[in-house]
């Protein structure tokens, strides 16, 4: 049992470090080839912060562990809203000022509804996966177009300011970190998945529960770090934008890639329990974000945090304490 625990902890730490190096290298490489800063923020950093979820879910699908794959994606969404936004709002109230975010919040609701419709039976077929990937590519094209045509938007300003703070990196060094970061992402993800599956078997719980909890929290740590850092710099739109973008990536690309690799069956509970919680939290985020003041204050942050604690307590009670 000790070895799987070490594998999970070591895999998570290496995964986070590798993702950070990969993002830095990819962003620096894009700069050398003249890519606009806003495009780097939307595409490179967007993919980079979701790289842990993508690779972990893809490898889980390859290894025949659909519970880890789907639990990681939907559990990360729950973690992003309830835990990360909750904690971030307790540090500094978050205002949704960006017009881009106000458009993306309703899109996130629609994407969540589409995902719920596709997985109502607990299955992800290859057709379902390609539908999700098709919507993802359309969303990315729209995001890039909107970002480049809203240069005065507050989120665009935050992204540019964040990128300007990154240290200069030569092209050779940038390419080196892209290759090393990607290789380590693959290796650490495999280590994490193996350890998580072994822990699930040891405690007699499903892969899905482990994916929803341990794996989901671990792969969401980059979003936690970036959101708290953005909030402390008063870049509140960037903090909220990180979460909305990550959830869209998870719901569309992470599930889509895993399902395209191998059709998945995770059980009815992923719809009746986990998808329901994710949907309620997403609607709540929409209400908070598009409300009269458009602010996620400390009280609303506390609501999110308590919801996360309650959800995990329920998972623990039903999965481990049940006879």
Per residue in 124-136, pLDDT tens?
899 999 999 999 9
The whole-model pTM stands at 0.83
Cα 323 from Cα 270, distance rounded (Å): 21
Q: At residue 300, does pLDDT exceed 70?
A: yes
HEC string of 282-296 equals HHHHHHHHCCCCCEE
212 or 241: which carries more pLDDT confidence?
212
**Spatial distance between the Cα atoms of 238 and 199, rounded to a whole number of angstroms:** 35
* Lowest-confidence pick of 10-14, 111-115, 132-136: 10-14
> Do residues 35 and 136 make contact, with C-beta atoms less than 8 angstroms apart?
no
In contact, 75 and 254? CB cutoff 8 Å: no
pLDDT, position 271 = 82
| pLDDT at residue 280, rounded to an integer | 94
Which of 177 and 323 is assigned the larger pLDDT? 177
Report d(CA 116, CA 132) in Å as an integer.
Answer: 11
Instruction: pLDDT band for 282, please (50, 70, 90 cuts).
Output: very high
Query: What is residue 42's predicted lDDT score, i.e. its pLDDT?
Result: 59
Report which of residues 230 and 17 the model is more confident about. 17
Element (H, E) at 15: helix 2-32
pLDDT at 197 over 60: yes
Torsional class of 93: left (φ above 0), alpha (ψ -120 to 50), beta (otherwise) = beta
183 is written with which tokens? 């290789």
pLDDT of residue 32: 77
pLDDT at 89 over 60: yes
Burial of residue 167 (CB within 10 Å: 0-12, 13-18, 19+) is exposed
Q: How is residue 139 written in tokens?
A: 């969303």
Residue 151, pLDDT > 60, answer no
Convert the pLDDT of each residue in 23-72 to its tens digit: 778 777 877 777 665 566 656 666 666 778 888 888 888 888 888 888 88
Asked if pLDDT for residue 265 goes beyond 60, the answer is yes
* Model confidence at 323: pLDDT above 60: no
Which of 79, 104, 67, 49 is closest to 255 using CA atoms? Answer: 67
Domains of the chain, start order = 2-321 (1.20.1420.30)
Question: Other C-beta atoms within 10 Å of 193: how many?
Answer: 29
**268-293: average pLDDT:** 86
- Nearest-5° Cα angle at 126, 276 to 118: 25
Give the model's pLDDT for residue 27.
Answer: 74
Task: Provide the token pair at 283.
Answer: 């609607």
pLDDT more than 70, % of the chain: 83
Q: Tell me the average pLDDT of the chain.
A: 81
Distance CA(61)–CA(58), nearest Å, equals: 5
Backbone phi, then psi, for 267, in 5-degree steps?
105, 155
Specify the pLDDT at position 318.
Answer: 80
């Amino acid at each position: 049992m000790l070895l799987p625990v070490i594998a999970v902890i070591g895999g998570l730490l290496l995964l986070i470090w590798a993702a950070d190096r990969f993002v830095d290298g990819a962003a620096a490489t894009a700069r050398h080839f003249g890519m606009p800063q806003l495009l780097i923020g939307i595409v490179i950093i967007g993919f980079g912060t979701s790289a842990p979820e993508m690779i972990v879910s893809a490898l889980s699908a390859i290894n025949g562990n659909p519970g880890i794959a789907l639990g990681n994606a939907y559990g990360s969404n729950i973690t992003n809203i309830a835990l990360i936004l909750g904690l971030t709002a307790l540090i500094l109230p978050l205002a949704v000022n960006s017009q881009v975010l106000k458009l993306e919040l309703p899109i996130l609701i629609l994407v969540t509804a589409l995902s719920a419709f596709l997985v109502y039976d607990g299955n992800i077929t290859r057709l379902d996966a390609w539908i999700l990937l098709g919507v993802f590519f359309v969303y990315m094209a729209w995001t890039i177009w909107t970002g480049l045509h809203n240069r005065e938007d507050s989120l665009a300003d935050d992204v540019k300011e964040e990128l300007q703070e990154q240290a200069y990196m030569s092209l050779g060094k940038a390419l080196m970190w892209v290759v090393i970061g990607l290789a380590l992402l693959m290796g650490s993800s495999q280590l994490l998945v193996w350890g998580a599956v072994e822990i699930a078997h040891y405690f007699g719980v499903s892969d899905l529960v482990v994916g929803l909890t341990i794996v989901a929290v671990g792969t969401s740590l980059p979003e936690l770090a970036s959101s708290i850092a953005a909030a402390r710099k008063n870049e509140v739109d960037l903090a909220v934008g990180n979460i909305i973008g990550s959830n869209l990536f998870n719901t569309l690309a992470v599930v889509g890639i895993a399902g395209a690799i191998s059709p998945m069956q995770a059980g009815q509970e992923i719809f009746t329990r986990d998808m329901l919680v994710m949907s309620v939290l997403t609607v709540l985020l929409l209400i908070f974000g598009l409300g009269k003041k458009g602010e996620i204050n400390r009280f609303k942050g506390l609501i999110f945090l308590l919801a996360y604690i309650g959800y995990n307590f329920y998972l623990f009670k039903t999965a481990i304490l049940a006879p």
